[in-house]
Structures are given as C-alpha cells and as structure tokens.
Chain A
Amino acid sequence: MAVKAKHQRLLLAVLAASALLAAGLIAASALREEVSYFYTPSSLARDKPAPGKAIRIGGLVQPGSITRGADGVSIRFVVQDRDASLNVRYTGITPDLFVEGSGVVADGRLAANGIFIADSLLAKHDENYVPRELADIDMKTGQQSKDSLVR
C-alpha cells in the first residue's frame, strides 16, 4: 500500500510540474512579440510605430557612419541589422563602448522625416570576449578580420 501511495504522489508531482512548466514557458514565449525590449531596424520597418511615440531601438552601428557635429556633443550615425538600416541623431555624451560596428540601444522617437531622435544611448556588448592584442586578427586565417570591432 505504501508503494502505491508513493507512486500516486510521483505521478501527481510529475503532472503538476510539467503542466506548470509548460504553462510558464508558453506564457513567456507568447510574450516574445509583446515585450520585445527594442525595435530592430527591420522590425521598425515592419511595424511602423507612429512618429513621436516613445520607442526604443537597437542594432549595430554601421561602420564609417558616425559623424560628429561641430559642437562636439551632437552625433549622427546609422543603426543597421541584416536587412534594414535607420538614421539616428543624438546629442550627449556617448558610453565608452559606443564604437562603429558595435551594438547600441537607444531611447527616443521617430521624427516625421524618418530620422530617429535619440534621448539616451546605451552600448551593447556582444557575446565575444577577445583580448585587445588579438582583436584585429582573425583566428582561423591569420588575416586582418573583416568584422573587427576595433576603431
């Protein structure tokens, strides 16, 4: 009898745990579209949020696109992902990791002409950790890396 009760509890626990896990995971992954932390240039082109609405965008700073204004604090650059790009304007001090080719997340709004006016700028690090002296060299070919993130 004791064995039977134990098996019943095991079955109940497994059922409850898997139902719970499934519910949690389904809920969380259903939120994927809703709670995306930022728009990428492609999802921005697809979803078209209204100009003037406060949104957050993220992507890579296009190499060669950063131009600094004469006042020293206003900059323009292009944020891109694989399929689309977006012109961004920002006035303020940029974080240390804000470099061309690196990731960036910006709060702000779209102007009527399609330029994104950023109020704040955060740098995004990618998952690669590379010592400084190796950063320019591609490990496999020994050549200067194309996608080197170093200025």
Chain B
Amino acid sequence: MHRFANPARFLRLAKPLTPALFWPGLILALSACLWGLFATPAERLMGETVKIIFVHVPAAWLGMGGWIVIALASIIQLVWRHPLAGIAARAAAIPGAVFAGICLATGSIWGRPTWGTWWVWDGRLTSMLVLFFLYLGYIALANASSEKGSVSRVAAIFGVMGAVNIPIINRSVVWWESQHQKASITLSGSSIDPAYLWPLFGSVIGFSLIFGAVVLMRMRAALAEIKIDARMRRMAER
C-alpha cells in the first residue's frame, strides 16, 4: 500500500485511469438505462414503473459503497497516516451523498404508484435517510478541517463510526417487518427475472465506474490545490 503513498506516483497512475473508468462507465450506464427503459417488458404488477430500478438500485449501492470507501480510507488515515487516505475519503463524500439522495428521490417516486405513498418510516427508508444525513455531517466536518485537501482526525473517526449504519441498512428488511420488500439478489440467487437482471447488472457496473472516475478526479483536484497552495507560499516567502 505504501507504494502508492507517494502522491506523484498516485497521480501518474490516476491520470490515465480517470478516462479509462469514466468513458466505459458512461457508455455502459447510458446503454443499460436505455436498454432497461425501452427494451424490457412491463412487470406483472408494477407495469412500466419497474424501470426506475435501473437507477434506484445502482444509486442505493453507491450511496452505501461511498460510505464504505470513507470508512476504509478513514481507518487507513488513522492507523497508517497515509497521506492520500484523507484525500480519498473526502473525495468520496459528495458523490456518495449525491447517490444516496438519488436513491431516496427515485425510491419516493417509485413508492407513490406502487405502494400508494411517497414516504413511510420503515426500517429501510429511515436508515437510508440516516445515511444521507451522515454524509451531510461528514461533509461539514471535512470542510471544517484545517488540513488542506484532507480531513481532520475528528472527521476520520466520524467516518469510521458512521459505518455502523451500513449493515443496519442491509439487514433492515430482515430484522423488521417493513414496507420495503426484502432483498431480491442474495447469495443464493436472484428473484429478478433475467429480462431485468442483465440491464440492471450493466447499469450497476456502469455507475460504479463513473463513481470511481469522479472520486479520482476529485482526488487529483485536491492534490493540485495542495500544490498550488505550496507554490504560492514559496513565492510569498521569496
């Protein structure tokens, strides 16, 4: 891991990796969404509204995945003092919050025609809303950090603590009777028909690649800002 501790080496790797993730991701996500929207059949009960799944599920996964990135990077920052870890955690916060927000919004739009309500306070919906608020809290703490581009130790501790919510979101439909249905894709298989499963698979991979590219872009921007800051200071001293 310490091979990548050197920001210069990281930048050499990240520069070609950013477009290599972004463009395939964009093409895959777009084509999977179009496939899902126009080329899949209506669902037996929900009809055409089922097609929100191609945005809702990737957004839910990345909303949670973003916090997993924050938590792992925060642990690395706290234990190994890796100079890039705080930058990585901070870079994942806003994209993660955006996807969590998209998940809540599309879920609400989906709930109105299928369940008959925009919102209910069941375990799954509430824990996902808590995740969204955790993101807002983390972003505020990160912005309040004096570390340029990185985050303070308080924010890193908050990033680790917030990870408790992730298994709660995952288990919420098992532990509690809920309005939200149980998991469709489990270790033992999928109860989603292949007609929907393949485009869903494509859009999950596609959005994940875009997420990775955005995080790399934000990390590079943070490193560039640190560099500008250092150079300005040197010039001022002269």
Contacts and interface: CB of A to CB of B under 8 A. Distances in A.
Contacts of A35: 123, 176
A38 interface: yes
A25 B168 CA distance: 7
Given A17-B75, A94-B116, A149-B44, 18 more contacts: A9-B78, A20-B164, A24-B164, A28-B175, A32-B175, A36-B176, A96-B45, A97-B45, A97-B116, A98-B116, A122-B116, A125-B45, A126-B182, A129-B53, A131-B43, A131-B44, A131-B196, A135-B44
Interface of A: 6, 9-10, 13, 16-17, 20-21, 23-25, 28-29, 31-32, 35-38, 40, 58, 94-99, 102-103, 105, 121-135, 149-150
Contacts, number: 130
B7 to A, nearest CB: 20
B226 to A, nearest CB: 24
A36 B177 CA distance: 6
A24 B164 CA distance: 6
Given A25-B164, A95-B116, A128-B191, A13 B78 contact: yes
B168 A28 contact: yes
Question: On chain B, which size bracket covers the interface?
Answer: 35 or more
Contact of B184 (A10, A128, A131): A128
A13 B122 contact: no
Contacts of A105: 115, 120, 179
